[in-house]
Amino acid sequence: MSPVFQVQNLNKAFGGLAVTQDVSITMNPGDRVALIGPNGAGKTTFVNLVTGHLDPDSGKVLLGGNDVTSLGPTPRVRQGLVRSFQVTRLFPDMTPEEHLALAVMQRTGRTGAIFGHYQAKADVMAEVAELLRTLGLDHIATRKVAEIAYGQQRLLEIALALALKPKVLLLDEPAAGVPQSDTPRIEAALAGLPSDLAVLMIEHDMDLVFRFARRVIVLAAGAIIFDGSPQDVTRDARVREAYLGSYANDRSAA
Amino acid sequence: MAAIETTSAAKPEAAARPNWLKRDLLGLAVILAVAAIGYFLFPNNLALLTRILGVALLVLSIDLVTGFCGVATLGHAALFGAGAYASGIAAVHFGITDPLLMVVVGAIGGAVAGIVSGAVILRGHGLAQLVLSIAVVHLFHEAANKASVYTGGSDGLSGISPDPIFGIFAFDLWGRTAYGFAVALVVIAFIVLRLITRSPFGMLCRGIKEDPIRIRAMGASVQGTLLKMYVISGAVAGTGGALNAISTQVVGLDSLSFTLSAEALVMLVLGGTGSLYGALIGTVSFMWFEDFVSAANPFHWLTIVGALLIAVVLFAPRGLYGTALTLADRFRGNGK
Ligand SMILES: Nc1ncnc2c1ncn2[C@@H]1O[C@H](COP(=O)(O)OP(=O)(O)OP(=O)(O)O)[C@@H](O)[C@H]1O
Ligand SMILES: [Mg+2]
């Protein structure tokens, strides 16, 4: 199987602070990867670099074998690389329905149309309804985003990424800010994703990580210190030292 | 998991759709009613009313880029003036005197000016954008001044004599035909813009105003979308310019001025941005008030207009229309 997503020797420093150090990751279709690491390890920066929201100092990003390092965020999304944001980025004056309709129409090349209304497009409305149902947002579909709870905004953030039908999906702490009672919705949405989609999820909730991931990458101070199976990550001495600490001990004791 | 299944059975809100259609039809009816009232109340002042409608098209076009896309501009008269000169030059030098054709030429002239000035202005952000827009209108002004063979330079371009509309309705001394023509243009522009702002493209523009980074993360081009809106905006402003050229039968350098750009932006802020209604309300109130006060008190009218503006910006920052909506909402909320 040829990799859909390759990051090669990526480096980035802010001032004197090296935030990304020689990071290389290869992902194949169907991969379910968790990227973990302590606060400030450089996880979000990694996502910003590979999606084109930040320029790396050196290194390469390849999508389906094509070098996209010199491209901006827009063409990368069009080639199937989609992200969600750790801090929700939504349009306060628009409704969840409008957000998702816009994403679906953008994906299908229809946002250039200066006439017509999304509610008149049956296929768009059907897809939007499906996404809203999956994430349990249908009862607030026509409320302005500024008026809905933060947890619901987080769910919409994920729905928005799914609406773009990515080939590679990067989720930056999708469960952060979502009430515990709603995390099953996120997991159900993730479980329902196409099996050939490659997903990389940044997450602090280790229970979620262990249920979701078949591979775990640990980032500490901008460098990869572990890349392997979830079974091995808790036993790795460097990981314990850098990050997991008491949690790993709790888990192996249990 | 059972809880998830039950909540997902919620009803779709079917009432949301006809609502905006009803509101738009009502808005249209109000516009036509006001236009008719103006005609009967001020039969000797139709020239002023027609001028107001021409400027209203300019203010609507600013609302497209500022209110809907968040682009700051103090140079939008460049598009208005380009439309005025295009249709004026077409009439005087190329014999295109059919008023409908003149409007088409004006709209194209405005659209072309929209591409040119958009390409420059959209390179900057915030303050730089504002400065670029001022530079653009000054350059257009200077170009029109220098090309006096075509534009008449500082003397203005005169000798525009449009044919009767459809060969039937001749432009009369009282300005009745011109006024009817102006109302028709504004109504058509309003309907078209209403449709555009609700379209997928219009939604994309609103998204850019609220969060361009999110728009990029959705795979849409921010610059391309804004430039397209600039072209549409240019066509609307150019239509306003053409209307001005047709109704006054002259085009002067003031139609390409920084002053007009700034005043039009003030009218938009006065009425309220991002609704199209605000643009119309702002233009009518500003220009009517200006005319009224300058006649009533020729010595202090600028002071009075200035004081009014300060009052509106301080006490009704969302503009006349936005504030009226807020008050109506509050009133309805209390009534329940
Ligand atoms: N634009 C920036 N300019 C300067 N420093 C930055 C910038 N963005 C991030 N940093 C710094 O880079 C380091 C890594 O930040 P990053 O947000 O990538 O961490 P993270 O692993 O996502 O952390 P968290 O788990 O808290 O989300 C931090 O020290 C942060 O302060
Ligand atoms: Mg982060």
Count chain A–chain B contacts defined by CB atoms under 8 A: 105
Residue B124 burial (C-beta neighbours within 10 Å; 0-12, 13-18, 19+):
middle
Pocket test for ligand 1, best of A19, A88, A206 (most atoms within 8 A of CB): A19
CA distance B294 to B302: 8
Q: Are A101 and A94 in contact (CB under 8 A)?
A: no
Tokens read off for B318: 């969302």
Of residues B175 and A35, more confidence is placed in: A35
Residue nearest to atom 8 of ligand 1 (CA): A45
Residue A229 lies in a domain: yes
Question: Of B16, B202, B214, which is closest to A90 when you measure between CB atoms?
Answer: B214
Numbered residues of chain A with Cβ closer than 8 Å to any chain B Cβ: 51, 53, 72-74, 77-78, 82-83, 85, 89-94, 98, 101-103, 105-107, 110-119, 129, 133, 136, 138-139, 141-142, 160, 164, 184-185, 188
Strand pairing report for A32-36 and A198-202: parallel
Average pLDDT for residues B101-113, to the nearest whole number? 97
**Torsion angle of alpha carbons A14, A19, A22, A25, nearest 10°?**
-130
Question: 0.95 cut: is pTM over it?
Answer: no
CA distance B182 to B46: 10
> How confident is the model over A65-77, as pLDDT tens digits?
999 999 999 999 9
Residue A134 lies in a domain: no
> How confident is the model over B132-146, as pLDDT tens digits?
999 999 999 999 999
* Closest ligand to the CA of A39: 1
Q: Is B329 on the interface with A (CB under 8 A)?
A: no
Residue A112 lies in a domain: no
> How confident is the model over B190-204, as pLDDT tens digits?
999 999 999 999 999
Residue A139 lies in a domain: no
Distance from CA of B196 to the nearest CA of A (A): 5
Residue A173 lies in a domain: yes
Residue A101 lies in a domain: no
**Domain CATH code at residue A58:** 3.40.50.300
Q: Indicate the number of domains in chain A.
A: 1
Question: Of B206, B207, B220, which is closest to A74 when you measure between CB atoms?
Answer: B220
> How confident is the model over B62-96, as pLDDT tens digits?
999 999 999 989 999 999 999 999 999 999 999 89
* C-alpha B157 to ligand 1 mean position (Å): 60
Distance from CA of A173 to the nearest CA of B (A): 16
Range of the domain at A46: 5-89+166-253
Pocket test for ligand 1, best of A44, A55, A57 (most atoms within 8 A of CB): A44
CB contact under 8 A, A114 and B196: yes
> How confident is the model over A192-223, as pLDDT tens digits?
888 999 999 999 888 899 999 999 999 998 99
* Closest ligand to the CA of A219: 1
**Complete DSSP assignment for B261-311:** HHHHHHHHHHH-SSSSHHHHHHHHHHHHHHHHHHHH-TTTHHHHHHHHHHH
Check pLDDT > 90 for residue B98: yes
Chain-centre distance for alpha carbon B239: 10
Q: Residue B214, SS3? A: helix
Q: Where are the domains of chain B?
A: 18-256
